[in-house]
Amino acid sequence: KYMGIIFDLDGVLCITDRYHYQAWKRIADTLKIEFNEAKNHRLRGVSRMESLDIILENYDKPLSVEEKIALAEEKNRYYREFLETMSESDIEDAVFATLDELRVRRYLLAIGSSSKNAGFILEKTGLIKYFDAISDGNGLNKSKPDPEVFLRAADDLRLAPEKCLVVEDAAAGIMAALAGGFDSAGIGDGTAVPGVTYRLERFEELLEVV
Ligand code: G16
Ligand code: MG
């Protein structure tokens, strides 16, 4: 049915959630704003600047665009320090095994991630070799739930959206897939979104639906 599979990165192939949390926490602490795991959860799949806006909901002082950019850059420097420590051991064996099998089955594989650090994470973890196309937060005009990141991935694979399956963990990502005319496989939070095509309890179940 499908010829290509487009994977979200954070929350699907790897877990960098705790690094995002720790990096944003340092920013929040400097500004003396409340930031906890529940709020961190709202940042899943959301772009860096939109994440900052969510964190600043509890901040009463108005910030200029320049100040916001500086904060986002500072967060990214902390975050990159964590990413530097990543290796193949941060990826579940089931992820490598599943990607190996999908390649054997001749699917075209792409990344559709909101992250501007996607290329770096893929390099550090040894995942990069599996992908025919990488569509990430760089050069993106509209973030999920807009379908742009997935449409660009499909286009890079030279496939129509109907020929691709999107694998996502975030609600915004499943909505983006729906908006772009893609079937979707939800993991974690992604399983709860109305309209999701398949619900996966474990990543390797992907092999049963394609
Ligand atoms: C990821 C994360 C988000 C993060 C976004 C931007 O998206 O889930 O929490 O805010 O990337 O990341 P960066 O600051 O590295 O550009 P995805 O789409 O891979 O789940
Ligand atoms: Mg995600």
Is residue 79 within 8 Å of 19, Cβ to Cβ?
Answer: yes
Task: Read off the tokens for 51.
Answer: 């994440």
pLDDT for 194: 95
Q: How many residues does the chain have?
A: 210
Q: What is the pLDDT of residues 78-112, one digit of tens each?
A: 999 999 999 999 999 999 999 999 999 999 999 99
- Binding site residue list for Mg(2+): 8, 10, 168-169
CB distance 9 to ligand 1 below 6 Å? yes
Distances (CA, A) of 169 to 77, 174, 203: 25, 8, 10
Q: Is 185 helix (H, G, I), strand (E, B) or coil?
A: strand
pLDDT for 58: 80
From 114, 123, 143, 148, mutation site for ligand 1 pocket: most ligand atoms within 8 A of C-beta: 114
Q: What is the pLDDT of residues 62-84, one digit of tens each?
A: 999 999 999 999 999 999 999 99
CB distance 153 to ligand 1 below 6 Å? no
Report ipTM (2 d.p.): 0.93
User: Out of 2-16, 33-47, 68-82, 122-136, which region has the weakest mean confidence (pLDDT)?
Assistant: 33-47
The H-or-E segment that residue 188 falls in is none
Q: What is the pLDDT of residues 150-188, one digit of tens each?
A: 999 999 999 999 999 999 999 999 999 999 999 999 999
Greatest CA span in the chain, whole angstroms? 55
Q: What percent of the chain has pLDDT over 90?
A: 96
Q: How far is the CA of 9 from the centre of ligand 1 (A)?
A: 8
CB distance 48 to ligand 1 below 6 Å? yes
14 DSSP assignment: B
Bridge partner residues of 166 (DSSP): 6, 184
193 DSSP assignment: S
Q: Whole-number mean pLDDT of the chain? A: 96
Q: How far is the CA of 103 from the centre of ligand 1 (A)?
A: 25
pLDDT for 12: 97
pTM for this structure? 0.95
Ligand 1 atom nearest residue 137's Cα? 16
